[in-house]
Structure 1
């Protein structure tokens, strides 16, 4: 029984500390909000509130959370542009055909290894056209693979 009493007191004091603490600028995650709801439920401090009412009152508004997320995404592209590579980057150089040494591989694996060899050779000559191996929108691998398939 004393253990249960200690647990209830700890839960109530934690809940009180959360209630008195200043609210963060962003809304709580659903997992954090759920844990907070369960603690309040165990401590009988919900006062008849259901989950949706509790979530809106204690965890932040969904619209505000979406607005915060949208503003964070809008701010991200405004960051400083990536620094230019040392020296002027040359246009990307791609292999004209699959390397003969990979003829015993499957077609996909042969293209992969051929493109990887050319990419690594281009790195020393700064001839990758500022492309990374894989990047959103099509990196070196994607373009090289497409050229070898055609």
Structure 2
């Protein structure tokens, strides 16, 4: 078994090293076509046909212009979700007193979440969301954190 794992690890490392030496991004067909048309109109093709030009100027060794490679600036990440006007239970329901603390909180929060859905009182929160959904906020409040 350990021999297999060593072989698998060696294959993974060699594969990753092989990927790290890949050539730079080649020009897209559209970029290459624009470059060909510019060279054609400037008269600098020196008798090259499209396929010859494409292999020589647009292959993996040729890279796109710098302006095309600069990524667009990213917009600011949305801030953490606020509970807004969501309605939360004040204590774990007595109906779930026989369950563990975590299960009791979860079931109590779920009951309140379902009740809020009918009256649209979840404050725009989904049950589970990135950055903290209804369950996360409800559980924090019931724990007293």
**Alignment TM-score, normalising by the size of structure 2:** 0.47
Q: Quick check: which has more Rg, 1 or 2? A: 2
Q: Decide which structure has greater helix share.
A: 1
